[in-house]
A and B are shown apart, each in its own frame.
Chain A
Amino acid sequence: MNAPTLKPWWKNRLPPPGEIVPVYALVAFALYGWTLFHFVWKVPSWLYFLGVGEVLILLARAIFTNLLESVAFTALILGLCIFLPAKFLRNRFVLRGGALAVALLAWIAYFDIIASLIVPPVSILIGWTALVLVTVPMLVYLAGRFSVVERFLLWLGDRLIVFLYLTIPLGLLSGGIIFFRFVFGGGE
């Protein structure tokens, strides 16, 4: 008779990998997409005085940052899974995790745009945080009330997985380039 194996308590609170991947795909698509959009906006002015090779190195840094960001952000959501009751997030993770990711990222994008000119004062940070804490759970709850939202997020997450075949290898390659330059320098 086999002795029962005990999994760490937190593993029981995580969603299955098959549900994590589409949420990660959604997060990665948003983060990579945001960066690439603004990168393309910047490239023409950079090319005024930088060579193509230098611009590609900048792109490598940006993509590797996206890889780290996407993992960190997904880890944040998974961390919430560990500490919140299962019915709040872990159950129906693609729906609730996806809605949480979309709502949070939208608020972060709004903050990035309005706070681009300044070091935001504490009052703005507090106000923004309060808005996030109030509206995001509401949006996640409301998303679960409409089956069309769940179907859409499931469909979207599945479709976006294909981009991971591009973003993850590019991110790792970029990391390799950065490591190489860290060790051997840029040769500038």
Chain B
Amino acid sequence: MTRSFSRRDFLKLASLAAANVFLAGGLAARASEASRPNILIFVFDTLSARHMSLYGYHRKTTPNLERFAERANVYHRHYSAGNFTVPGTASLLTGTYPWTHRAFQQSGLIQRSLASHNLFAAASRPYRKTVFSQNLWAENLLSQFQADIDTHLPPTAFSQFDGLAGDSALFHRDKDVAFRAYDDFLFQKFDTPGSLYFSLLNKINSTVMYNDTFAEHAADYPLGIPNLLKYDVYYLLEDIFSGIQNQLTRLDAPALGYFHFFSPHELYYPRKEFAGRFNDGWTPEAKPFHPLSDTAFQHDVLCAYRNGYDELIANVDDEFGKLMDFMQRAGFFENSYIVVTSDHGQLFERGEHGHGTALMFDPVIHIPLLVHAPGQTGRNDFFAPNSNVDILPTLLRCAGFEIPAWAEGVPLAGLGGSEDLARPVFAIDAKSNPALTPLRQATIAMIQGDQKLIHYRGYPGAEDSFELYNLRDDPEEMRDLAADLPDVVASMKNVMLARLAEADQPFTREG
């Protein structure tokens, strides 16, 4: 005798069916979430493409990045939108030029009304965002995006010791202001500190701690312990990479990770295996001083600095090689976009050592960009100029998100875009300008095809001058063609100034 199908049976069956649908949907959702690729961005501060053997540099500085390049898209003419950390990093993370995001002062910030326009906000759920920056100016920018970040490692993570007051647990609710008050003013280095007495005690403490650390590691770091130069944070390169490697194992997929390493930023303190490696007697061609150079270092001094820088790049490359091998073993190459780039380069020419000056020659804005796509086994090379404002739209497209209308970049060739030699890209230095006024004093570089136009604006003695270079025929930018090719200058100038006027419009009286 068959049992009749009761209402209770129906309700049980219906609820079971609903649970199955829900469960399957949940599993599918998790499977779908998990199938989204991870995005890992590694930024090496101050790494110039011009100093990488990957891009043809005379010295063998990046053999491991060359290995990585065998499975990556390699962009040979990638430009930072700024010539120091603040504008360069802000452009990478917002997909906008400095004249839009307005972070172009030393230790500056993105315009508050635009802080939500960033990669972490745009790459919404299911992505879990983890960020780490050793560079404290980049850290200031990341703090503006705090609401969109899930895990924010402190800049002192994995370091040997630090003397940062702003990083103290006392100020955990107020750390940005604490950083500016204490580390950027009261106890600052590179300028007279704002505190007369406590800064002395701070210096004595730093000296004692540094000597203890140096004594422990002098054998491995004979030139000195790597540090943040302007701030009392001391680290060993291998510890930073090891810490990041550990962090990678803790990521929840799909992960968006941003890791900003301070090296190879000066001071150039490589491990012993790399110290002295490039005392090979090679010297590049000397270049004439530029009227707007901040300093007047002689050629032999610049060559000595260059040697140290190249050695530190080789050290960083070696550590990256180990990280790369780890990522290979852990399967990240199968399920992740892996981006290797920089925020800006470095100058050792025309009397100038460093970055963040009024000069925009290629060594300071031509930076590396390598992007490995999930499962990629071959190398693709791209030669059209592109900008780090293109990284945000590219990664969003790769992750399956819409590109926001406010992004000024376009997807990179090979990753949803195409090569366009006619498209101009820009780099802007405007650190002496208030954020919310038109740019009165600035250096603007525009790269279009093989041509590069540099505009110096508002500098005493160079109020409104232009330089023009052909980067294919004259990659060292030795011959200013502005007088010889006035039509080219006029054409590029119109484009440049139109873009500048458009960017300045909200900050003019009429705007």
List A residues at the B interface (Cβ < 8 Å).
Answer: 30-31, 34-35, 38-39, 42, 45-50, 54, 57-58, 61-62, 65-66, 68-69, 72-73, 105, 108-109, 111-113, 115-122, 125, 181-186, 188
Is B171 located at the chain interface by the 8 A CB criterion? Answer: yes
Point out the residues of chain B lying under 8 angstroms from A57, CB to CB: 177, 181
Bound-state CA distance A57–B181 (Å) is: 9
Q: How far is the CB of B87 from chain A (nearest CB, A)?
A: 12
Point out the residues of chain A lying under 8 angstroms from B203, CB to CB: 111-112, 115, 119-120
Residue of B nearest to A70 (CB): B197
Residue of B nearest to A183 (CB): B173
Bound-state CA distance A51–B196 (Å) is: 26
CB distance A47 to B434 under 8 Å? Answer: yes
Q: Which of A58, A105, A185 contacts B181 (CB 8 A)?
A: A58
* Mask of B142-161 contacts with A, CB within 8 angstroms, 1/0: 01000000000000000000
CB distance A35 to B195 under 8 Å? Answer: yes
Residue of A nearest to B197 (CB): A69
Is B321 located at the chain interface by the 8 A CB criterion? Answer: no
A35-B195, A184-B173, A185-B174 given as contacts; is B105 within 8 A of A49 (CB)?
A: yes
Is B191 located at the chain interface by the 8 A CB criterion? Answer: yes
Q: How far is the CB of B50 from chain A (nearest CB, A)?
A: 28
Is B242 located at the chain interface by the 8 A CB criterion? Answer: no
Which residue of B195, B197, B199 has the most chain A CB atoms within 10 A of its CB atom? B197
Q: Which of A61, A69, A186 contacts B173 (CB 8 A)?
A: A186
CB distance B196 to A109 under 8 Å? Answer: yes
* Mask of B167-189 contacts with A, CB within 8 angstroms, 1/0: 00011011011101110011011
CB distance B207 to A112 under 8 Å? Answer: no
CB distance B196 to A120 under 8 Å? Answer: no
Q: Which of A42, A48, A112, A183 contacts B105 (CB 8 A)?
A: A48
Is B200 located at the chain interface by the 8 A CB criterion? Answer: yes
Point out the residues of chain B lying under 8 angstroms from A50, CB to CB: 109, 180
Point out the residues of chain A lying under 8 angstroms from B40, CB to CB: none
Give the residues from 21 to 74 in chain B that come closer than 8 angstroms, CB to CB, to chain A. Answer: none
Q: How far is the CB of B136 from chain A (nearest CB, A)?
A: 15
27 A-B residue pairs with CB within 8 Å: A31-B197, A34-B195, A35-B195, A38-B194, A45-B105, A46-B180, A48-B433, A49-B108, A49-B109, A50-B109, A50-B180, A61-B177, A61-B182, A61-B186, A62-B194, A69-B195, A69-B196, A72-B197, A112-B199, A116-B189, A116-B192, A118-B189, A119-B232, A181-B174, A182-B173, A183-B173, A186-B174
Which residue of A116, A117, A121, A122 has the most chain B CB atoms within 10 A of its CB atom? A116
CB distance A188 to B176 under 8 Å? Answer: yes
Q: Which of B176, B181, B206 contacts A62 (CB 8 A)?
A: B181
Bound-state CA distance A182–B175 (Å) is: 10
Is B438 located at the chain interface by the 8 A CB criterion? Answer: no
Point out the residues of chain B lying under 8 angstroms from A54, CB to CB: 177
Point out the residues of chain A lying under 8 angstroms from B143, CB to CB: 188
CB distance A42 to B177 under 8 Å? Answer: no
Bound-state CA distance A97–B273 (Å) is: 55
Point out the residues of chain B lying under 8 angstroms from A112, CB to CB: 192-193, 196, 199-200, 203
CB distance A48 to B108 under 8 Å? Answer: yes
CB distance B185 to A42 under 8 Å? Answer: yes
* Mask of B405-437 contacts with A, CB within 8 angstroms, 1/0: 000000000000000000000000000011100
Residue of B nearest to A34 (CB): B196
Point out the residues of chain A lying under 8 angstroms from B103, CB to CB: 49
Q: Which 7 A-B pairs have the closest CB atoms?
A: A61-B181, A185-B173, A186-B174, A34-B196, A49-B108, A38-B194, A181-B174
List 17 other contacts, CB 8 Å, given A61-B177, A105-B196, A186-B176.
A30-B196, A34-B194, A42-B185, A42-B194, A45-B105, A50-B109, A61-B178, A62-B195, A65-B181, A66-B195, A72-B198, A111-B200, A112-B199, A119-B210, A120-B203, A125-B204, A125-B207
Bound-state CA distance A182–B194 (Å) is: 22
Q: How far is the CB of A91 from chain B (nearest CB, A)?
A: 25
Residue of A nearest to B434 (CB): A48
CB distance B200 to A182 under 8 Å? Answer: no
Is B190 located at the chain interface by the 8 A CB criterion? Answer: yes
Is B505 located at the chain interface by the 8 A CB criterion? Answer: no
Is B211 located at the chain interface by the 8 A CB criterion? Answer: yes
Bound-state CA distance A50–B184 (Å) is: 14
Bound-state CA distance A58–B109 (Å) is: 16
Q: How far is the CB of B295 from chain A (nearest CB, A)?
A: 14
Bound-state CA distance A51–B171 (Å) is: 20
Bound-state CA distance A30–B180 (Å) is: 22
Bound-state CA distance A183–B171 (Å) is: 9
CB distance A38 to B105 under 8 Å? Answer: no
A49-B105, A61-B177, A188-B176 given as contacts; is B207 within 8 A of A121 (CB)?
A: yes
Point out the residues of chain A lying under 8 angstroms from B195, CB to CB: 31, 34-35, 62, 65-66, 69
